[in-house]
Amino acid sequence: MASERSRTITAIYPGSFDPVTNGHLDLIARGAKIFDKLIVAITRNLEKDPLFEIQERVEMLETVTFDWKNVEVDVFDGLLMDYARARNASVVLRGIRAVSDYEYELQMAMMNRKIEPHIETVFMLPGEAYSYLSSRLVKELARLNGLPKGLVPAAVEQRLRLKFG
């Protein structure tokens, strides 16, 4: 017996996206297929020294997610659960590349559940080609002029080359 879903499932995929990588895009593409609406939420993390300003990250994400009509790019600060409630989200999407990611993400998911028990965290593994990829590694390679093709979308690669010329 099939039951019909009467509500829209909104998920939030939070992160710094400094810069967005093809690993992020892999999760966005798969999340967009699963959820009715996927909000890619850029966090304002004052503890990090970002390479790209918030507006630059918004522009890059909007450019590379343009084809997904159910994907929205937004910015937030403060508690993720407060933001999720304000956006009527019922799911937080998180990527896990390695055991070290899992340990950190599990701790965050349990705390988020304590704060807001009605919002679920869904962990997704990246495609095999992106299991090692991180924004930190991309920035380091770009800074050393050694960024191989295929790690970031072309629009992001162009901006990285402009930064490190």
Q: Which residues are catalytic?
A: 24, 48, 97, 135
Place of tokens 């810069």: 19
Q: Cβ atoms within 10 A of the Cβ of 34, count?
A: 13
CA dist 165 and 163 (Å) reads: 6
List of E strands, the chain: 10-15, 37-43, 71-76, 91-95, 120-124
Strand, coil or helix: 69: coil
The verdict on whether omega for the bond into residue 126 sits within 30 degrees of 0, i.e. cis, is: no
- Largest Cα–Cα separation, the chain: 59
Torsion of CA 105, 126, 133, 92, to 10 degrees: -40
